[in-house]
Amino acid sequence: MSVVKRPAVEIFSCNALQQIPQLLTLQDRNPHSPTYGCFDRNFWQYRLVDFPTGMAQEFVYPLALAYSTKLPENPYFGDQAICEWVKAGIHFAEKSSHSDGSCDDFYPYERAAGAAAFSLFGCLEAYHLLQIKDAQSEEFFTRRGRWLAKHPESGKLSNHEALIVYCLYLLSQRFEGSVFAHDYRERLDRLLSWQHKEGWFVEYNGCDLGYQTLTIAMLAQLYEESREGELREPLERAIAMTAQFMHPDGSFGGEYGSRNTYNYFPHGFEIAGKWLPEALELNDRFAIALQSGRAPCYSDDHMIAHHMWSYLLAARYYTSTRNDKRFSRKKRAFYEGAGLLVDRRDEMDLYVALNKGGSFKLFRHGEFVASDTQISLKMRDGSTAVCHHIDDYAIDVGADYVEITGNAGWAKQKLMLPLDNILLRTFMLTVGRFFPGVVRRLLQQLLITYKRVAPFQFTRRFEWEGGELTVSDCISAEKWEDVISAGAGGHQTSISVVQSRPYHPSQHQPWLDITKRTENLKSGQALRIKRKY
């Protein structure tokens, strides 16, 4: 596809500004409404839920950036109505929070650290940009900051931790410094201890490159403001590792990450470009993908704002002086700890998740060829066995081949039925409200981290011969009678992660239906498939 190249600053800012009307549609903008300032339209307009999600109040930040950033084609710059709506959003964040400053996201009394961190970050920055002076808001900020500081989140989510670290730094600088300085240092040390020597930061039990860009962004902002010398080396390692996974067409991320995201937060690379000019190339390439329709769509009601503020920040931090410096792309980059492999040869680029059964993306001559999330087997009882769960598989990496062997697992397909919602709410309103961390850990295991083994074993082998890549799959089972459908697709996932499963143009590829190959298999026989690229 031919693209008229525009500066990245224009591409990022225009994309964000085009979504401001959608953001405003989500907000209750009636000053006489009891939910004035709320961004959860399902709560205040449709009455579909019985409490507002605290995450949504983060949306004040892109509005504040639109109000305060002078850019061509920005009709919101200096708009006083926007200013008032931002103030209303900050007030509703305080009004809808618990007395300890925490907030809920998906169920009552959840006290979600991620939602609290995202919305506090958004409110703090919006408050600062608009130069608001309000004692009640400042008391709320410090209350939420204290709650975040004293309640470490269950599981290792580095992007959340990076947001919390940055919030604690802002609070230590702008308000009660003596109170938050120790907490900031303690949580920063905790976050840095989560970085693997290969450069990546942990997201649950693996590496998710999409969320890594947010961790990089927050640490880069922290370095920009604090000049903490110890941050530069971890940032450079993280950026250099991330650069290996920028796809040839400028797209980024996908189902081979631990959390299946296509996230790309550009402003951290723009900041780092001041002292690491190679980082700017990543933004320039992603901006072209964004302009040419090869970027993901995150415009749903729950997560629309995440990328908007990062795009607008990239415009504010934009470095006009750019050169041709770029990170060298290794012919083969094997990150054993992350379970990721990049193999480049004969004008082909292969990205493989070794710890997800060999899920992969393939490019040729810089263009997308195929995405594959391993074999999926649907059973007569409605359950589905998949081969893409994160696990400690047997891996053999040779000079011209890669082989992964392991057990399939059952997909996590549990939906919330009316009775389930009644039971969860009853429990949270009585006992669970006193143990939100325990409940969250149990739900994380149920919906995300725990793998229940299915009675199928697989082997996937990648083999290079000349300019040809062969992908061979072998699935064995004691019996096949209960399998009613089998296939492979490019974007199948089976864990519950909010930022996963967005629409992406690469998903326009046909489902590989191999059901007929399973119909005549006898007990103990293996299903074999071979594809050549």
Centroid of chain to Cα 57: 18
Pairing of the two strands 332-335 and 340-345: antiparallel
Give the pLDDT confidence score for residue 375 in this predicted structure: 97
**Average of per-residue pLDDT across 468-483:** 96
In the predicted structure, residue 179 carries a pLDDT above the cut 90 = no
In the predicted structure, residue 462 carries a pLDDT above the cut 70 = yes
In the predicted structure, residue 1 carries a pLDDT above the cut 50 = no
In the predicted structure, residue 80 carries a pLDDT above the cut 50 = yes
Q: What is the DSSP string of 81-150?
A: HHHHHHHHHHHHHHHTS-TTS---SSSTT---HHHHHHHHHHHHHHHHHTT---HHHHHHHHHHHHHHHH
User: From CA 233, how far away is CA 212, in angstroms rounded?
Assistant: 16
94 Cβ contact partners less than 8 Å away, ≥ 6 residues apart: 136, 137, 140
Q: How many CA atoms are closer than 13 Å to the CA of 501, on its beta-carbon side?
A: 8
Lowest mean pLDDT among 45-49, 55-59, 295-299, 428-432: 428-432
Give the pLDDT confidence score for residue 472 in this predicted structure: 98
Centroid of chain to Cα 149: 23
Task: Give domain limits for the chain.
Answer: 12-316, 332-532
Q: Are 459 and 473 in contact (CB under 8 A)?
A: yes
DSSP lists the bridge partners of residue 349 as: 344, 363
3-state secondary structure of 454: strand
Which helix (H) or strand (E) is 216 found in, with range?
helix 209-226
Q: In this predicted model, what pLDDT tens digit does every residue of 305-349 receive, in sequence order?
A: 999 999 999 999 999 888 888 898 899 999 999 999 999 998 999
Dihedral of the CA atoms 304, 310, 312, 314 (nearest 10)?
A: -150
In the predicted structure, residue 2 carries a pLDDT above the cut 70 = no
In the predicted structure, residue 421 carries a pLDDT above the cut 90 = no
Give the pLDDT confidence score for residue 4 in this predicted structure: 42
Bigger pLDDT: 214 vs 442: 214
Instruction: Give the tokens for residue 487.
Output: 């296939």
In the predicted structure, residue 415 carries a pLDDT above the cut 90 = no
Neighbours of 246 (CB within 10 A): 22
The topology under which CATH files domain 12-316 is: Glycosyltransferase (1.50.10)
Instruction: Give the tokens for residue 375.
Output: 């074999």
pLDDT band at 177; cut points 50, 70, 90: low
User: From CA 412, how far away is CA 451, in angstroms rounded?
Assistant: 9
Question: What is the percent of the chain where pLDDT is above 90?
Answer: 82
In the predicted structure, residue 242 carries a pLDDT above the cut 60 = yes
CA angle at 377 for the pair 371 and 379, rounded to the nearest 5°:
150
**Average of per-residue pLDDT across 198-207:** 93
The dihedral of CA 9, 11, 15, 20: what is its sign?
A: positive
How far from each other are the two terminal CA atoms of the chain, in whole angstroms?
Answer: 22
The dihedral of CA 48, 52, 55, 57: what is its sign?
A: positive
Neighbours of 443 (CB within 10 A): 16
User: From CA 456, how far away is CA 458, in angstroms rounded?
Assistant: 7
3-state secondary structure of 500: strand
Angle between helices 232-243 and 209-226 (to 10 degrees): 150
Bigger pLDDT: 240 vs 328: 240
3-state secondary structure of 437: helix
User: From CA 101, how far away is CA 146, in angstroms rounded?
Assistant: 8
Of the candidates 147, 150, 124, 149, the residue with the CA atom closest to the CA atom of residue 137: 124
Neighbours of 75 (CB within 10 A): 10
Give the pLDDT confidence score for residue 175 in this predicted structure: 85
Give the pLDDT confidence score for residue 154 in this predicted structure: 82
3-state secondary structure of 31: coil
Bigger pLDDT: 420 vs 400: 400
Which helix (H) or strand (E) is 222 found in, with range?
helix 209-226
Q: In this predicted model, what pLDDT tens digit does every residue of 285-298 receive, in sequence order?
A: 999 999 999 999 99
Question: What is the percent of the chain where pLDDT is above 70?
Answer: 98
pLDDT band at 6; cut points 50, 70, 90: confident
Give the pLDDT confidence score for residue 428 in this predicted structure: 87
Bigger pLDDT: 107 vs 215: 215
In the predicted structure, residue 261 carries a pLDDT above the cut 80 = yes
User: From CA 286, how far away is CA 108, in angstroms rounded?
Assistant: 38
User: From CA 51, how far away is CA 49, in angstroms rounded?
Assistant: 6
Instruction: Give the tokens for residue 283.
Output: 């933004």
Q: Are 86 and 27 in contact (CB under 8 A)?
A: no
Q: Are 34 and 96 in contact (CB under 8 A)?
A: no
In the predicted structure, residue 14 carries a pLDDT above the cut 90 = yes
**Amino acid symbol at 367:** E
Backbone torsions φ then ψ of 4, nearest 5 degrees: -80, 110
Bigger pLDDT: 306 vs 178: 306
pLDDT band at 274; cut points 50, 70, 90: very high
494 Cβ contact partners less than 8 Å away, ≥ 6 residues apart: 384, 386, 388, 389, 409, 411, 412, 413
Give the pLDDT confidence score for residue 437 in this predicted structure: 83
**How does the average pLDDT of the chain come out, rounded?**
94
**Average of per-residue pLDDT across 172-191:** 90
Bigger pLDDT: 133 vs 434: 133
